[in-house]
Amino acid sequence: MHPFGQTTHTAVWGDLAVLGRTETYEIRGYRSDGSLARIVRRDFEPGTPTRAEQDAWFSRLLAGYSEERRERSAQVAANVPLAAAFPAFGAVVGDALGHLWVAEFKRPGDDYAGTLWTVFDGDGRMLGLVETPAFVTVFEIG
């Protein structure tokens, strides 16, 4: 697992299936026939991770491992290449009211403890930001 690796997130948003690749802040909503219905975009400054930020991320992760596993994993972590840029966003979740919740990717040094969500209405307009506490896993949101 790369701490700042790019990925694809998917969710159900009302009657749409949404898909977003994290290289850019663009999430596309598709109808059941596969046609594009909506695009949600937000300004995004990618920023470039440093080796120190990546090493610190791995140190926090490995701190909870057994000594043997920590040693093996540290050797692997030392050889993980740096990502070209931070991901634009994290998870996406649709709620029962037709809103789309997009978790902002938490970068080293961000000044909040939990998850910061950007909430969009059914037309893709940004409604605001909501922070959920640290160590809370969202299974359903609204």
Name the phi and psi angles at 97, rounded to 5.
-95, 5
Q: Distance between alpha carbon 120 and the CA centroid of its chain, in Å?
A: 16
pLDDT at 28 over 70: yes
Task: With residue 127 as reference, give the H or E element that holds it.
Answer: strand 126-132
Where are the domains positioned within the chain?
1-45+87-142, 49-83
Task: With residue 24 as reference, give the H or E element that holds it.
Answer: none
pLDDT in tens, 38-84: 999 999 888 999 999 998 888 888 998 999 999 999 989 988 999 99
pLDDT in tens, 111-126: 888 999 999 999 999 9
User: Strand, coil or helix: what is 13?
Assistant: strand
